[in-house]
Amino acid sequence: MNRRQLLLGAAALPLLPAAVSAAPPHHAGHHHGEGKQGEAEAPTGSPAQTPIGPVDTAAKWAIITDFNTRAVLLDKDADAPMAPSSMTKMMTAYLVYSALKSGKLRLSDELPVSEKAWRMGWSMAKSSAMGVDINTKIKVEDLIRGMVVVSGNDACIVLAEGIAGSEQQFAELMNAKAREFGMTSTHFVNSSGWPDPGHVSTCRDLATLAARLIQDFPEYLHYDSEKSFKYGNIEQENRNPLVQRGTGDGLKTGHTEEGGYGLVGTSQRDGRRVIMVLNGMTSMHQRAEEAERLLDWAFREFEDVKLFAAGDVVDQAPVWLGASATVPLVGGRDVVLTLPRSWRKNAKISVQYDAPVRAPIARGTTVGKITVSGEGVPAMDVPLLAGADVPRLGLPGRAMAVLSHYVMGS
Protein backbone atom coordinates (compact mmCIF):
# COMPACT_ATOMS: atom_id res chain seq x y z
CA MET A 1 0.00 0.00 0.00
CA ASN A 2 1.40 3.39 -0.98
CA ARG A 3 0.89 6.82 0.50
CA ARG A 4 -0.56 8.96 -2.26
CA GLN A 5 -0.12 12.72 -2.07
CA LEU A 6 -1.26 15.25 -4.62
CA LEU A 7 0.15 18.76 -4.16
CA LEU A 8 -2.08 21.35 -5.75
CA GLY A 9 -1.20 25.00 -6.19
CA ALA A 10 -4.16 27.19 -5.35
CA ALA A 11 -4.31 28.71 -8.82
CA ALA A 12 -4.37 25.27 -10.44
CA LEU A 13 -6.92 23.66 -8.15
CA PRO A 14 -9.88 22.94 -10.44
CA LEU A 15 -12.45 22.66 -7.69
CA LEU A 16 -11.80 26.15 -6.33
CA PRO A 17 -14.43 28.58 -7.57
CA ALA A 18 -13.94 32.31 -7.60
CA ALA A 19 -13.60 33.70 -4.10
CA VAL A 20 -16.59 35.17 -2.36
CA SER A 21 -16.33 38.93 -2.59
CA ALA A 22 -15.95 41.08 0.51
CA ALA A 23 -16.68 44.73 1.10
CA PRO A 24 -14.42 47.34 -0.46
CA PRO A 25 -12.05 49.29 0.13
CA HIS A 26 -18.57 50.97 31.38
CA HIS A 27 -20.36 50.75 31.08
CA ALA A 28 -19.60 49.51 34.60
CA GLY A 29 -16.93 50.37 36.99
CA HIS A 30 -16.48 53.06 39.41
CA HIS A 31 -17.62 54.66 36.24
CA HIS A 32 -20.49 52.54 34.99
CA GLY A 33 -21.51 54.91 32.26
CA GLU A 34 -20.06 56.60 29.24
CA GLY A 35 -21.13 60.18 29.46
CA LYS A 36 -17.69 61.29 30.67
CA GLN A 37 -14.13 60.53 29.69
CA GLY A 38 -12.51 57.76 31.73
CA GLU A 39 -9.29 57.57 33.67
CA ALA A 40 -7.84 54.46 31.96
CA GLU A 41 -4.13 54.45 31.26
CA ALA A 42 -2.99 54.69 27.66
CA PRO A 43 -2.72 51.24 26.09
CA THR A 44 0.77 49.78 26.03
CA GLY A 45 2.38 46.57 24.87
CA SER A 46 3.07 44.76 21.63
CA PRO A 47 1.08 45.11 18.40
CA ALA A 48 -1.77 42.73 17.63
CA GLN A 49 -0.85 39.52 15.82
CA THR A 50 -2.55 38.64 12.54
CA PRO A 51 -2.03 36.04 9.78
CA ILE A 52 -0.54 38.78 7.60
CA GLY A 53 1.81 40.30 10.18
CA PRO A 54 1.66 42.62 13.21
CA VAL A 55 -0.96 45.41 13.28
CA ASP A 56 -0.83 48.35 15.68
CA THR A 57 -3.94 49.14 17.68
CA ALA A 58 -4.73 51.55 20.49
CA ALA A 59 -6.75 48.82 22.21
CA LYS A 60 -5.04 47.14 25.15
CA TRP A 61 -6.92 43.90 24.48
CA ALA A 62 -8.45 42.89 21.14
CA ILE A 63 -9.71 40.07 18.97
CA ILE A 64 -11.38 39.99 15.55
CA THR A 65 -13.03 36.83 14.24
CA ASP A 66 -14.99 35.77 11.18
CA PHE A 67 -18.48 34.72 12.27
CA ASN A 68 -18.99 32.13 9.53
CA THR A 69 -15.67 30.29 9.87
CA ARG A 70 -14.65 31.33 13.42
CA ALA A 71 -11.19 32.19 12.03
CA VAL A 72 -9.17 34.58 14.22
CA LEU A 73 -8.05 37.55 12.12
CA LEU A 74 -6.44 39.62 14.89
CA ASP A 75 -5.34 38.85 18.44
CA LYS A 76 -3.86 41.14 21.07
CA ASP A 77 -3.77 39.59 24.55
CA ALA A 78 -7.17 38.09 23.80
CA ASP A 79 -6.86 35.64 26.70
CA ALA A 80 -5.77 38.18 29.32
CA PRO A 81 -8.27 38.78 32.18
CA MET A 82 -9.98 42.16 32.01
CA ALA A 83 -13.05 43.99 33.27
CA PRO A 84 -15.83 43.29 30.74
CA SER A 85 -17.84 46.32 31.90
CA SER A 86 -21.22 46.65 30.20
CA MET A 87 -20.23 44.16 27.52
CA THR A 88 -21.43 41.78 30.26
CA LYS A 89 -24.96 42.67 29.22
CA MET A 90 -24.67 40.38 26.19
CA MET A 91 -25.00 37.40 28.54
CA THR A 92 -27.95 38.99 30.29
CA ALA A 93 -29.55 39.52 26.88
CA TYR A 94 -28.84 35.88 25.94
CA LEU A 95 -30.65 34.59 29.03
CA VAL A 96 -33.56 36.97 28.46
CA TYR A 97 -33.91 35.78 24.85
CA SER A 98 -33.72 32.18 26.08
CA ALA A 99 -36.60 32.87 28.47
CA LEU A 100 -38.61 34.36 25.61
CA LYS A 101 -37.92 31.34 23.42
CA SER A 102 -38.96 28.89 26.15
CA GLY A 103 -42.14 30.82 26.89
CA LYS A 104 -41.10 31.76 30.43
CA LEU A 105 -41.28 35.42 29.34
CA ARG A 106 -43.23 37.32 26.72
CA LEU A 107 -42.32 40.72 25.29
CA SER A 108 -45.62 42.09 26.59
CA ASP A 109 -45.08 40.84 30.16
CA GLU A 110 -44.57 43.52 32.82
CA LEU A 111 -41.92 43.09 35.49
CA PRO A 112 -41.81 44.92 38.86
CA VAL A 113 -39.07 47.42 39.72
CA SER A 114 -37.41 46.68 43.05
CA GLU A 115 -35.63 49.20 45.24
CA LYS A 116 -32.30 47.65 44.24
CA ALA A 117 -33.03 48.18 40.55
CA TRP A 118 -34.24 51.72 41.16
CA ARG A 119 -31.13 52.61 43.17
CA MET A 120 -28.94 51.38 40.31
CA GLY A 121 -30.62 53.97 38.09
CA TRP A 122 -30.30 57.73 38.15
CA SER A 123 -29.70 57.78 41.90
CA MET A 124 -26.40 55.92 41.47
CA ALA A 125 -23.58 58.26 40.50
CA LYS A 126 -22.05 57.57 37.10
CA SER A 127 -24.42 54.70 36.38
CA SER A 128 -25.83 54.11 32.90
CA ALA A 129 -29.58 54.00 33.40
CA MET A 130 -32.90 53.56 31.64
CA GLY A 131 -34.56 55.58 34.41
CA VAL A 132 -37.00 53.14 36.02
CA ASP A 133 -39.26 54.22 38.89
CA ILE A 134 -39.57 52.17 42.07
CA ASN A 135 -42.74 50.11 42.60
CA THR A 136 -43.77 50.32 38.95
CA LYS A 137 -44.02 47.61 36.29
CA ILE A 138 -42.30 47.78 32.92
CA LYS A 139 -42.81 45.76 29.76
CA VAL A 140 -40.09 43.25 28.94
CA GLU A 141 -39.57 44.74 25.49
CA ASP A 142 -38.94 48.18 26.97
CA LEU A 143 -36.49 46.66 29.43
CA ILE A 144 -34.64 44.93 26.58
CA ARG A 145 -34.25 48.26 24.80
CA GLY A 146 -33.24 49.90 28.07
CA MET A 147 -30.54 47.27 28.50
CA VAL A 148 -29.30 46.89 24.92
CA VAL A 149 -29.72 50.35 23.41
CA VAL A 150 -28.94 52.65 26.36
CA SER A 151 -27.07 50.17 28.58
CA GLY A 152 -29.33 50.62 31.60
CA ASN A 153 -27.99 48.89 34.68
CA ASP A 154 -31.40 49.31 36.28
CA ALA A 155 -33.09 47.50 33.39
CA CYS A 156 -30.66 44.58 33.79
CA ILE A 157 -31.57 44.12 37.43
CA VAL A 158 -35.32 44.20 36.74
CA LEU A 159 -34.86 41.50 34.08
CA ALA A 160 -32.52 39.43 36.27
CA GLU A 161 -34.90 39.50 39.25
CA GLY A 162 -37.85 38.75 36.99
CA ILE A 163 -36.18 35.61 35.62
CA ALA A 164 -34.27 34.24 38.61
CA GLY A 165 -35.75 35.97 41.67
CA SER A 166 -32.53 37.73 42.58
CA GLU A 167 -29.54 39.15 40.74
CA GLN A 168 -27.23 36.80 42.65
CA GLN A 169 -29.14 33.77 41.44
CA PHE A 170 -29.22 35.20 37.92
CA ALA A 171 -25.42 35.50 38.01
CA GLU A 172 -25.28 31.75 38.67
CA LEU A 173 -27.29 31.20 35.51
CA MET A 174 -24.89 33.46 33.64
CA ASN A 175 -21.89 31.46 34.84
CA ALA A 176 -23.54 28.15 33.98
CA LYS A 177 -24.15 29.37 30.44
CA ALA A 178 -20.58 30.66 30.21
CA ARG A 179 -19.30 27.19 31.14
CA GLU A 180 -21.58 25.65 28.53
CA PHE A 181 -20.09 27.96 25.88
CA GLY A 182 -16.52 27.15 26.90
CA MET A 183 -15.87 30.64 28.28
CA THR A 184 -13.27 29.24 30.67
CA SER A 185 -11.76 32.59 31.71
CA THR A 186 -15.05 34.30 32.56
CA HIS A 187 -16.81 34.77 35.89
CA PHE A 188 -19.87 36.96 36.36
CA VAL A 189 -20.91 38.51 39.66
CA ASN A 190 -23.81 40.65 38.42
CA SER A 191 -26.05 41.21 35.42
CA SER A 192 -24.77 44.63 34.34
CA GLY A 193 -20.99 44.53 34.54
CA TRP A 194 -20.83 46.81 37.56
CA PRO A 195 -17.24 46.65 38.91
CA ASP A 196 -16.31 43.81 41.19
CA PRO A 197 -12.87 42.18 41.62
CA GLY A 198 -14.40 38.80 40.80
CA HIS A 199 -16.20 39.98 37.67
CA VAL A 200 -13.81 39.17 34.81
CA SER A 201 -13.71 37.98 31.23
CA THR A 202 -11.45 38.02 28.15
CA CYS A 203 -11.77 39.27 24.61
CA ARG A 204 -11.85 35.71 23.31
CA ASP A 205 -14.64 34.70 25.67
CA LEU A 206 -16.69 37.77 24.76
CA ALA A 207 -16.22 36.98 21.05
CA THR A 208 -17.53 33.46 21.75
CA LEU A 209 -20.55 34.92 23.53
CA ALA A 210 -21.20 37.40 20.72
CA ALA A 211 -21.14 34.62 18.12
CA ARG A 212 -23.64 32.54 20.11
CA LEU A 213 -25.91 35.54 20.59
CA ILE A 214 -25.98 36.18 16.83
CA GLN A 215 -26.24 32.51 15.92
CA ASP A 216 -28.96 31.52 18.38
CA PHE A 217 -31.13 34.67 18.40
CA PRO A 218 -30.86 36.52 15.07
CA GLU A 219 -34.49 37.58 15.45
CA TYR A 220 -33.54 39.90 18.32
CA LEU A 221 -30.45 41.47 16.75
CA HIS A 222 -32.53 44.41 15.55
CA TYR A 223 -32.59 45.84 19.08
CA ASP A 224 -28.81 46.27 18.96
CA SER A 225 -28.97 48.38 15.81
CA GLU A 226 -31.56 50.87 17.11
CA LYS A 227 -29.94 54.30 17.30
CA SER A 228 -31.93 55.63 20.25
CA PHE A 229 -34.54 54.74 22.85
CA LYS A 230 -37.02 57.00 24.61
CA TYR A 231 -38.44 56.03 27.97
CA GLY A 232 -40.69 58.46 29.75
CA ASN A 233 -39.58 61.91 28.70
CA ILE A 234 -35.94 61.02 28.25
CA GLU A 235 -34.45 59.91 24.93
CA GLN A 236 -30.93 58.49 24.90
CA GLU A 237 -28.70 57.51 22.00
CA ASN A 238 -27.08 54.14 21.44
CA ARG A 239 -23.42 54.60 22.39
CA ASN A 240 -22.20 52.12 19.78
CA PRO A 241 -20.32 54.25 17.22
CA LEU A 242 -20.68 51.60 14.51
CA VAL A 243 -24.46 51.71 14.88
CA GLN A 244 -24.54 55.49 14.84
CA ARG A 245 -22.40 55.60 11.69
CA GLY A 246 -24.39 52.86 9.99
CA THR A 247 -21.35 50.59 9.60
CA GLY A 248 -22.37 47.96 12.17
CA ASP A 249 -25.50 46.37 13.64
CA GLY A 250 -24.36 45.60 17.19
CA LEU A 251 -23.51 44.63 19.78
CA LYS A 252 -22.43 46.37 23.03
CA THR A 253 -20.17 49.07 24.39
CA GLY A 254 -18.64 49.23 27.84
CA HIS A 255 -16.57 51.48 30.07
CA THR A 256 -14.91 51.29 33.47
CA GLU A 257 -11.92 53.03 34.93
CA GLU A 258 -10.32 49.59 35.31
CA GLY A 259 -10.99 48.43 31.77
CA GLY A 260 -11.09 51.65 29.80
CA TYR A 261 -13.44 52.06 26.85
CA GLY A 262 -14.52 48.85 25.13
CA LEU A 263 -16.73 47.60 22.34
CA VAL A 264 -18.12 44.36 20.99
CA GLY A 265 -18.92 45.27 17.41
CA THR A 266 -20.28 43.32 14.48
CA SER A 267 -21.04 44.05 10.86
CA GLN A 268 -22.15 42.11 7.81
CA ARG A 269 -21.02 43.00 4.30
CA ASP A 270 -21.73 40.99 1.16
CA GLY A 271 -22.81 37.99 3.20
CA ARG A 272 -19.73 37.95 5.42
CA ARG A 273 -19.99 38.83 9.13
CA VAL A 274 -17.12 39.94 11.35
CA ILE A 275 -17.08 40.10 15.16
CA MET A 276 -14.69 42.48 16.93
CA VAL A 277 -13.94 42.87 20.65
CA LEU A 278 -11.81 45.82 21.74
CA ASN A 279 -11.10 47.05 25.26
CA GLY A 280 -8.70 49.32 27.13
CA MET A 281 -9.00 52.50 25.04
CA THR A 282 -8.77 55.93 26.59
CA SER A 283 -11.83 57.76 25.27
CA MET A 284 -15.11 57.39 23.41
CA HIS A 285 -13.50 59.11 20.41
CA GLN A 286 -10.56 56.71 20.33
CA ARG A 287 -12.94 53.78 20.61
CA ALA A 288 -15.03 55.02 17.70
CA GLU A 289 -12.05 55.65 15.41
CA GLU A 290 -10.28 52.40 16.27
CA ALA A 291 -13.43 50.31 15.83
CA GLU A 292 -14.11 51.81 12.41
CA ARG A 293 -10.49 51.40 11.28
CA LEU A 294 -10.10 47.79 12.37
CA LEU A 295 -13.48 46.75 11.02
CA ASP A 296 -12.61 48.14 7.60
CA TRP A 297 -9.22 46.40 7.84
CA ALA A 298 -10.85 43.02 8.53
CA PHE A 299 -13.12 43.26 5.51
CA ARG A 300 -10.43 44.69 3.25
CA GLU A 301 -7.62 42.24 4.03
CA PHE A 302 -9.52 38.94 4.24
CA GLU A 303 -12.14 37.04 2.28
CA ASP A 304 -14.21 33.90 2.73
CA VAL A 305 -13.22 31.26 0.19
CA LYS A 306 -15.18 28.09 -0.57
CA LEU A 307 -12.53 25.46 -1.26
CA PHE A 308 -15.11 22.91 -2.33
CA ALA A 309 -18.76 21.98 -1.87
CA ALA A 310 -19.99 18.88 -0.09
CA GLY A 311 -20.51 16.87 -3.28
CA ASP A 312 -17.36 17.87 -5.14
CA VAL A 313 -15.14 14.93 -6.11
CA VAL A 314 -11.57 15.72 -5.10
CA ASP A 315 -9.96 12.59 -6.56
CA GLN A 316 -10.68 9.03 -7.73
CA ALA A 317 -8.80 6.58 -5.52
CA PRO A 318 -7.89 3.09 -6.77
CA VAL A 319 -9.61 0.26 -4.89
CA TRP A 320 -8.08 -3.09 -3.97
CA LEU A 321 -10.37 -6.10 -4.41
CA GLY A 322 -13.46 -3.98 -4.89
CA ALA A 323 -16.47 -4.32 -7.19
CA SER A 324 -15.42 -0.95 -8.60
CA ALA A 325 -11.88 -0.09 -9.68
CA THR A 326 -12.03 3.32 -8.04
CA VAL A 327 -13.93 5.22 -5.36
CA PRO A 328 -14.66 8.96 -5.49
CA LEU A 329 -13.18 10.98 -2.64
CA VAL A 330 -15.17 13.94 -1.33
CA GLY A 331 -14.95 16.47 1.47
CA GLY A 332 -18.41 15.57 2.77
CA ARG A 333 -19.33 19.19 3.55
CA ASP A 334 -18.87 22.68 2.26
CA VAL A 335 -15.43 23.83 3.32
CA VAL A 336 -15.14 27.59 3.64
CA LEU A 337 -12.00 29.29 4.94
CA THR A 338 -11.28 32.90 5.82
CA LEU A 339 -8.00 33.72 4.11
CA PRO A 340 -5.88 36.78 3.38
CA ARG A 341 -6.69 38.24 -0.02
CA SER A 342 -3.19 37.28 -1.18
CA TRP A 343 -3.85 33.63 -0.36
CA ARG A 344 -3.86 32.40 -3.98
CA LYS A 345 -0.17 33.25 -4.29
CA ASN A 346 0.83 31.41 -1.11
CA ALA A 347 -1.64 28.59 -0.48
CA LYS A 348 -0.58 24.97 -0.77
CA ILE A 349 -3.35 22.39 -0.89
CA SER A 350 -2.48 18.70 -0.73
CA VAL A 351 -4.59 15.54 -0.89
CA GLN A 352 -3.24 12.60 1.11
CA TYR A 353 -4.49 9.01 1.39
CA ASP A 354 -3.20 5.42 1.34
CA ALA A 355 -3.70 3.75 -2.04
CA PRO A 356 -5.18 1.46 -3.05
CA VAL A 357 -8.12 1.68 -0.64
CA ARG A 358 -9.13 -1.80 0.52
CA ALA A 359 -12.69 -2.94 -0.14
CA PRO A 360 -15.28 -3.12 1.24
CA ILE A 361 -15.69 0.64 1.57
CA ALA A 362 -18.70 2.31 3.18
CA ARG A 363 -19.78 5.70 1.95
CA GLY A 364 -18.67 8.40 4.41
CA THR A 365 -15.64 6.46 5.67
CA THR A 366 -12.60 8.68 6.27
CA VAL A 367 -9.82 7.56 3.95
CA GLY A 368 -7.47 10.54 3.98
CA LYS A 369 -7.26 14.29 4.38
CA ILE A 370 -6.89 17.57 2.56
CA THR A 371 -4.27 19.87 4.06
CA VAL A 372 -4.24 23.63 3.52
CA SER A 373 -1.05 25.51 4.43
CA GLY A 374 1.25 28.28 3.26
CA GLU A 375 2.75 31.58 4.39
CA GLY A 376 0.00 33.75 5.84
CA VAL A 377 -2.57 30.97 5.36
CA PRO A 378 -4.07 29.43 8.53
CA ALA A 379 -3.21 25.70 8.55
CA MET A 380 -6.20 23.40 8.27
CA ASP A 381 -6.87 19.68 7.78
CA VAL A 382 -10.17 18.52 6.24
CA PRO A 383 -11.18 14.81 6.34
CA LEU A 384 -11.39 13.14 2.92
CA LEU A 385 -14.34 10.74 2.74
CA ALA A 386 -15.41 7.91 0.46
CA GLY A 387 -18.16 9.26 -1.77
CA ALA A 388 -19.73 5.88 -2.57
CA ASP A 389 -20.14 2.32 -1.29
CA VAL A 390 -17.75 -0.15 -2.88
CA PRO A 391 -18.50 -3.78 -1.96
CA ARG A 392 -15.78 -6.38 -1.92
CA LEU A 393 -15.42 -8.70 -4.91
CA GLY A 394 -16.68 -12.23 -4.56
CA LEU A 395 -14.16 -15.06 -4.15
CA PRO A 396 -13.71 -15.72 -7.91
CA GLY A 397 -13.28 -12.03 -8.61
CA ARG A 398 -10.74 -11.61 -5.79
CA ALA A 399 -8.77 -14.61 -7.08
CA MET A 400 -8.61 -13.15 -10.57
CA ALA A 401 -7.61 -9.73 -9.23
CA VAL A 402 -4.79 -11.19 -7.12
CA LEU A 403 -3.59 -13.30 -10.05
CA SER A 404 -3.66 -10.29 -12.37
CA HIS A 405 -1.70 -8.26 -9.83
CA TYR A 406 1.13 -10.77 -9.50
CA VAL A 407 1.26 -11.97 -13.11
CA MET A 408 0.68 -8.75 -14.99
CA GLY A 409 1.52 -6.19 -12.30
CA SER A 410 -1.88 -4.51 -12.68
CA distance 55 to 46: 9
Q: At 343, is the secondary structure helix, strand, or coil?
A: helix
Q: What are the two backbone dihedrals, phi and then psi, of residue 181, each rounded to the nearest 5 degrees?
A: -80, -5
Of 60, 76, 85, 89, which residue is the catalytic one? 89
Q: Which of 114, 127, 151, 191 is the catalytic position? A: 151
Cβ atoms of 188 and 91 within 8 Å: the answer is: yes
Q: Among this protein's residues, is 104 annotated catalytic?
A: no
Three-class DSSP labels, 238-274:
CCCHHHHHCCCCEEEEEEECCCEEEEEEEEEECCEEE
Q: Is 348 a catalytic residue?
A: no
Give the number of other Cβ atoms within 10 Å of residue 123's Cβ. Answer: 11
- Cα dist from 280 to 102, 116, 195, 262, 347, whole Å: 37, 29, 15, 6, 35
Catalytic residue among 60, 76, 85, 86: 86
Residues 6+ apart with CB under 8 A from 119: none
What is the maximum span of the chain, computed from C-alpha positions, in angstroms?
Answer: 94
327 SS3 class: strand
Q: Is 252 part of the annotated catalytic residue set?
A: no
Q: Which residues are catalytic?
A: 86, 89, 151
